[in-house]
Amino acid sequence: MLYRFAAGFYQYYLHSTKDIHYFRTVVMLSFMLFMHLVQIGIVFHIPPKLFFFWGPIENKLLQRLGALVYFLALFGLISLIFPKRKLEEVAFTEAQLKKWRRIVPWYIIVNIAILTGLLIKSGVDKGLIKI
């Protein structure tokens, strides 16, 4: 099931004009995993320090390096779980590809909207946002 989901992203990017289909797939899957971790953390009130080892420190360079290491680890994990040759083995019919071309953009838009709503609600609950 997960391979089919990842292969759907791969097929979505395979029909674009760029030659970096696998890279784009892994980056998007890493980004979506990150978004889902943040959503779960907000819904269940899990402290961010359990998910992210970087925080609001004074040295911005160290903060950015921490985030880079975090995303490189996510990228590496996704690359190991979903190797390119396995994603290429998953077969899709033309109707399924057409369906994926509609699903992927909406999946991304809906997840960004959910995350935005959760972040606003979290800010209101903590008193950081006044309504």
Q: Is 127 left (phi over 0), alpha (psi -120 to 50) or beta?
A: left
What is the percent of the chain with per-residue pLDDT over 70, rounded to a whole number? Answer: 93
Q: Which range marks the domain in which residue 36 is found?
A: 2-125
Domain assignment present for 130? no
Domain assignment present for 49? yes
Question: Which pTM value belongs to this model?
Answer: 0.82
pLDDT tens-digit profile of 44-93?
988 877 777 666 666 778 878 888 888 899 999 999 999 999 988 988 88
The number of domains in the chain is 1
- Residues 117 and 33: their CA atoms lie apart, in Å, by 18
Domain assignment present for 6? yes
Which pLDDT band, with edges at 50, 70 and 90, does 106 fall under? very high
Domain assignment present for 131? no
